[in-house]
Amino acid sequence: MSLALYVHWPYCLRKCPYCDFNSHVRDRVDVAAWEQALLTDLAFEAAAMPAREVTSIFFGGGTPSLMPPALVEKIISETSRYWSLASNVEITLEANPSSVEAANFAALAQAGVNRVSLGLQALDDATLGFLGRLHSVAESLAALDLAQSHFSRVSFDLIYARPGHSPDSWRQELARALSFGTGHLSLYQLTIEPGTRFATLVREGKLAPLDDDAAAELFAMTREMTTAAGLPAYEVSNHARPGEESRHNLTYWRYGDYAGIGPGAHGRRNGMATVRHKKPENFLKAVSEQGHGLAEARPLGHREQAAEAVMMGLRLAEGIRPVELAARFGLAEADLIVPAKRRFYREMGYLNDTYTHQNDTYGTLSVTERGMGVLDGLLGELVPETLVA
């Protein structure tokens, strides 16, 4: 059976005001202690899932480009010792485009990283300052050039639908981004997450998010422009040339098994949901005392798994195969999707539903371009309450 591995590095140089990820700022990091803890946590997961083939490794954070390349190499090496690596294994590392971190690209490529995801976030310095980023546009473009010279696959992130973001300015920014020639883009609308600095500013009346109609216009424009450029959306916020899709993230969205190690890392394996201790110090203590960083390992019922699989799968352009999911989780097909809502939204043009009369089964169910703009509301209507209760 195949498996994806996620490795979380929790440290950043600064906490961005929009970020609700498990990231922390510390004056000092004991790399030797972290190497021991992460490798111990990895060994624990390997013992729980022997004889697997790893198809992808993803170093996320935090800012994993702050990790010493030697530690990245050690984790990859130990992973290959516990499990077999697929011949085309995808090994991704998230990186900030500062000159200090970009200087590690050659060593990271030598360590085995073959795909990098750069957090550019914006292509003008004023917006980067608003987003709390430490790099400039000049550093971004220099890092992108350097990444493209060292890694066979490069992706980068941009945040749009920012306060006051106009269609003209986003059209120009996205056109420039598409001109750089990468095979993958992650394009996220700015969301105000609870507990962030931006949430505080909104509550205080000091920040006004872009309204829903304006954001929807930018969303539609984004999909039109990326499709025209040969990087169509294969997931709500992710765009790629055919064959350049993130295989690691596809494991999540297709509801495959993945192991997660490091502070706050989530995993899903053997019908269990796992989560590690979130605070770095608590994670280190747990590994020292119990031989792993687990805070929780919870059995997932078939109905809960089915609900997650449907909601994750309908984020993808390829959609889901309801009859196969129903069989996988031992449920009736009508338990996965409310039949009346399925018919209604198909007729309204929000769903593609390939019906085959052979054996009275259904083929693929996917969300149309029109439906993707209202995906959250659509999922709330399609997935039965009895499945998510």
Q: Are residues 85 and 199 in the same domain?
A: yes
Q: Are residues 86 and 183 in the same domain?
A: yes
Whole-angstrom Cα distance, residue 289 to residue 283? 10
Q: Are residues 197 and 65 in the same domain?
A: yes
290 domain residue, yes or no: no
Cα-Cα-Cα-Cα torsion 265, 270, 272, 278, nearest 10 degrees, comes to: -10
264 domain residue, yes or no: no
Looking at the chain, the whole-number percentage of residues with pLDDT higher than 70 is: 97
Q: Are residues 242 and 334 in the same domain?
A: no
215 domain residue, yes or no: yes
Q: Are residues 11 and 85 in the same domain?
A: yes
Interval 314-339 mean pLDDT: 93
CB 108 within 8 A of CB 72: yes
Burial class (CB in 10 A: 0-12, 13-18, 19+), 163: middle
pLDDT (tens digit per residue) in 276-314: 999 999 999 999 999 999 999 999 999 999 999 999 999
Single out the residue of 141, 137, 91, 139 nearest to residue 116, CA to CA.
91
222 domain residue, yes or no: yes
The CATH number for 326's domain is: 1.10.10
Question: Does residue 124 carry a pLDDT above 90?
Answer: yes
Q: Are residues 114 and 248 in the same domain?
A: yes
β pairing state of 84-95 and 53-61 = parallel
The CATH number for 76's domain is: 3.20.20.70
R_g over Cα of the chain: 21
Question: What pLDDT does 388 receive?
Answer: 72
Whole-angstrom Cα distance, residue 130 to residue 161? 13
Question: What pLDDT does 101 receive?
Answer: 81
67 domain residue, yes or no: yes
pLDDT (tens digit per residue) in 363-383: 899 999 999 999 999 999 999
341 domain residue, yes or no: yes
pLDDT (tens digit per residue) in 128-144: 999 999 999 999 999 99
Distance of CA 186 to the CA centre of its chain: 9
Average pLDDT of the chain to the nearest whole number: 94
CA distances from 117 to 78, 260, 299 (A): 23, 19, 32
- Specify the DSSP element, H or E, that contains 356: strand 351-356
61 domain residue, yes or no: yes
CB 16 within 8 A of CB 131: yes
End-of-domain residue from the set 211, 227, 253: 253
211 domain residue, yes or no: yes
Question: What pLDDT does 357 receive?
Answer: 46
CB 1 within 8 A of CB 52: yes
End-of-domain residue from the set 189, 224, 253: 253
pLDDT (tens digit per residue) in 79-122: 999 999 999 999 999 999 986 687 899 999 999 999 999 999 99
End-of-domain residue from the set 214, 233, 253: 253
pLDDT (tens digit per residue) in 13-42: 889 988 988 899 998 999 999 999 999 999
pTM above 0.75, yes or no: yes
Number of domains present in the structure of the chain:
2
Alpha helices in 25-87 (DSSP H): 31-48, 69-82
Residue 97: give the domain boundaries: 2-253
Interval 239-250 mean pLDDT: 97
Q: Are residues 220 and 366 in the same domain?
A: no
